[in-house]
Amino acid sequence: MKLKTIAAVITTLAIGFTAPVFAADTVTVGVTTTGVPFTFIDTATSKPTGAMVELAEAIAAETGMTAEFEVVAFSALIPSLTTGKIDMISAGMFATDKRREVVDFSTPVYSYGEGMFVAADDATDYTLDDLNGATVGAQVGTTFADTLKARGTFGEIKLYDSIADIMRDVKLGRIKAGFGDKPIIAYQISQNPKMGVRLVEGYQPMKPGDVALAVSKENTALLDAVNAAIAKLKDSGALAKIFAKYGL
């Protein structure tokens, strides 16, 4: 992204989004296909869609840019950002202190915690203590996986590339329970009640977090532009409408 263009973006934001005074530029946004309803592929168009995709498009529009989306595995999003393959991450990613060591996050746009899910025919509403010694699953690269490991109470914690893979093994009885982003799990189950898993009622998240967009530490101008756009979208109610559209 051209620094001259970003400077013009910030100037425009500062004077109240009056009119573009610069030529539109492109921002490459990293998304993942495993984050329904935050980010996923629309089967009808074969293009990325979801709440965080629409948010990135809205932010780009506010700043006079065009968003181009790059599909990346969740665990590869930050490496892709730090190596310059993408300009920004817009996914269901928590802004954690560990991640802040290598990237910068925008102001939060959504908050939630993880959910626990078990086989649909398992009626027990487990607590974490009930699963001592059990084999459970989590998605690689997530904060949930790190927090589960830190407990040191499970027999084994299997790491998976996607929530769909975890759901499959829970359904087949290969692992006792799975953990993942609660909104993503709830949305997938609502869309396909025959998935063979259910959310555990009453489960208390270990560590709720804030979802935010991420940029490289060298791109402070883009971060300022993104934060200004988010503030405007919040004030207008547009941000809330985007998330409500996807049941969030």
Mean pLDDT value across residues 46-65: 96
Q: How confident is the model at residue 86 (pLDDT cuts 50, 70, 90)?
A: very high
pLDDT digits (tens, 9 = 90+) for 120-130: 999 999 999 99
The pLDDT assigned to 143 comes to 84
Answer CATH for 3-111+210-245 from 3.40.47.10, 3.40.50.300, 3.40.190.10, 3.30.300.30: 3.40.190.10
Topology annotation, domain 114-199: D-Maltodextrin-Binding Protein; domain 2 (3.40.190)
**pLDDT for 5 beyond 50:** no
Compute the mean pLDDT over every residue in the chain, rounded to the nearest whole number. 89
pLDDT digits (tens, 9 = 90+) for 12-54: 444 444 333 333 489 999 999 988 899 999 999 999 999 999 9
Mean pLDDT value across residues 218-226: 95
- Equal CATH topology for 3-111+210-245 and 114-199: yes
Q: Which of 101, 88, 24 is nearest to 224 (CA)?
A: 88
**pLDDT for 3 beyond 70:** no
Domain boundaries, the chain: 3-111+210-245, 114-199
Of the listed ranges 13-27, 59-73, 132-146, 185-199, the one predicted with least confidence: 13-27
